Structure 1
Amino acid sequence: MKTSKSTYLKMITMLAALVILISGCSIGSMPDSGTTDPANGQKLKVYFLDVGQGASQLIVTPSGKTMLIDAGNNDKEQVMLDYLKKYHISKLDVVIGTHPDADHIGGLDKVIDNIPVSTIYMPKVQSNTKTFESLLKSIKNKGLKVKTAKAGVSWDLDDQVHVEMLAPQGTYEDTNNMSAVVKVTYGNTSFLLTGDAEAESEKAMIASGADLQSDVLLVGHHGSNSSTTQKFLKEANPKYAVIQVGKDNKYGHPKSAVLNRLQKQGVEVYRNDSQGTIEFTSDGESLHIVTER
């Protein structure tokens, strides 16, 4: 009986091993239960940085290419450097100063002073402010040559990340309408980043036949009544909108009329003043959103 029992146990053990082998459920093929994202390296990150009553967007591509659009006001210089350190940005492949307003380019001089920059774009518009002069000085000191930001300029920031400038379409007296408007597309997801472009520029973009449809819209001019017209919003048709605005700002941004338009169209709104930095992650098909608070 002892021998028979021993043989029986051996048969059971061999049978169990055979079942495991056939099913492929070996330890080495079990799903990774760690915290590493299996799709890591295949995602686009777009950060709408909280710089108070100003604007700044940081784009990091799947392969680690970087683009910074604007950098908040003069008093946010250290804040910007801290953000770049936080997100492990050691170089910037592209920098875009949308237009000369201090709340958009105020921090760019220190960024350029401290972080290697490969390419910089700015629209052909001048300003006699110390902020603008300081930026030009930093650009000169680093031996950079400014490329013109205008409609029709486009490039691939990464294998699947396409950047296209949709504005300015022409020359305008109002520097806000000279804002570089940038569309970033990754797979089937897209971001429309509008600077301070106002109704005149929006009308020109629509007339140009540019593809304005986007999943995420940066609401123009911090939610001012001068921007995000009904026609432009209809053309963009975003699922999400971000308003870069500071707490208790003297301008009363964002305006209720703009918020009402966004609500009527069913757009989900995010704001820096109430939620801090807003981070969008795209896998090319869907978006994941994380807010600082």
Structure 2
Amino acid sequence: MSIVLLGCLLLSFIISGCSLEWESQNETTIAPGSVDSESKLRVIFLDVGQGASQLLISPTGQTMLIDAGNNDREEQMVEYLEQYGVDRLDIVIGTHPDADHIGGLDAVINTVDVGKIYMPKVQANTKTFESLLRSIKNKGLKVTTAKAGLQLDWDEQVDVTMIAPVVNGLDNNNMSAVIKVTYGDTSFLLTGDASSASEKEMIGSGVDLQADVLLVGHHGSKSSTTLSFLNQVNPEYAVIQVGDNSYGHPKETILERLRKKNIEVYRNDLQGTVEITSDGLDYQVTTER
């Protein structure tokens, strides 16, 4: 898509009033709906191959989707939502414009009701990004800028805080929206493709990065999960959203770093969809295989 066409598309958003607002674990076989979700937070790391997508269901049934895999996972994403009984997403977050994160979001938005959508102030001159913008426009939605310091209104029992991007002007990966989810004494840090530059900014911001569950940044690339960042987060569990790929993800350097800290690691390529359920005190981990 040409820069002129993208400019026209964004201009049409503004004219239409739909502008982007740039401002003890128990491992079992997963069976959707079989886990008692009453008074529990469910964080489901969906298996979308070499991509990323997390579906969150709150103790009161509120829903949130962070990313939606690549373009070839559109039908699978719609099937996942049906599988988990989701016909409305209260919050949708596109962490950054890379296709393996936002590729399926257009189909999701076309299929279900959406409350609010958040994306960072960064664009991409791609057909994937154009298709997502068109779906947002056609649904009559407005995009709120994803940035550090936002408190997301989701479930009064669950604190959802956006802690990155801290600064503007970084590359797409380092502009990734990073979300910390806290329920009772339990917490999750969901990092998109945030890399070392963003990790450094997060550390420098003084925000509390400690979390029990870490979504390992950028599919286990060595550009993310620096030792200083990992020490700050100090998780018990780590999830790597990865599939067959030519990048060598996850890198052995990162796996060894996690092993040295005795962090329990779960991977979509080995275990399929991974669900971590919290009652505010403890966790239950279930895997597809």
- TM-score (structure 2 length as normaliser): 0.87
Q: CA deviation at 1:118?
A: 0.6
The correspondence for 1:108, drawn from 92, 105, 108, is 105
Regions of 4+ moved over 6 Å: 36-39
State whether structure 2 residue 115 is matched by structure 1 residue 118. yes
The correspondence for 1:93, drawn from 67, 90, 94, is 90
The correspondence for 1:54, drawn from 51, 56, 67, is 51
Cα deviation, 1:104-137, whole Å, max 9, x if unaligned, reads 0000000000010010000000111000000000
The correspondence for 1:229, drawn from 226, 231, 243, is 226
Higher relative contact order (CA 8 A, sep 6+): 2
Counterpart code for 2:255: L
The correspondence for 1:263, drawn from 250, 259, 265, is 259
Q: CA deviation at 1:172?
A: 3.0
In structure 2, what is the equivalent of residue 290 of structure 1?
A: 286
Aligned residue pairs, count: 257
State whether structure 2 residue 286 is matched by structure 1 residue 251. no
Gaps of 5+ in 2: 1-32
1:253–1:155 CA distance, 2 compared to 1 (3 A) = same
For the residue of structure 1 that corresponds to 2:78, the secondary structure is helix
Q: How is 1:1-293 mapped onto 2 (pairs within 5 angstroms)? A: 40-247=37-244, 249-293=245-289
For the residue of structure 2 that corresponds to 1:154, the secondary structure is coil
In structure 2, what is the equivalent of residue 30 of structure 1?
A: none
Distance in 2 separating the partners of 1:121 and 1:155: 10
For the residue of structure 2 that corresponds to 1:164, the secondary structure is strand
Distance in 2 separating the partners of 1:135 and 1:76: 14
Distance in 2 separating the partners of 1:134 and 1:38: 35
For the residue of structure 1 that corresponds to 2:152, the secondary structure is strand
Distance in 2 separating the partners of 1:278 and 1:155: 24
Q: CA deviation at 1:163?
A: 0.5
Percent sequence identity over aligned pairs: 67
Distance in 2 separating the partners of 1:51 and 1:91: 20
Distance in 1 separating the partners of 2:169 and 2:51: 22
In structure 1, what is the equivalent of residue 23 of structure 2?
A: none
In our comparison, the structure showing a higher alpha carbon Rg is 1
Q: CA deviation at 1:41?
A: 1.8
What RMSD over aligned residues (CA atoms) do the two structures have, in Å? 1.4
Distance in 1 separating the partners of 2:170 and 2:144: 21
Q: CA deviation at 1:38?
A: 11
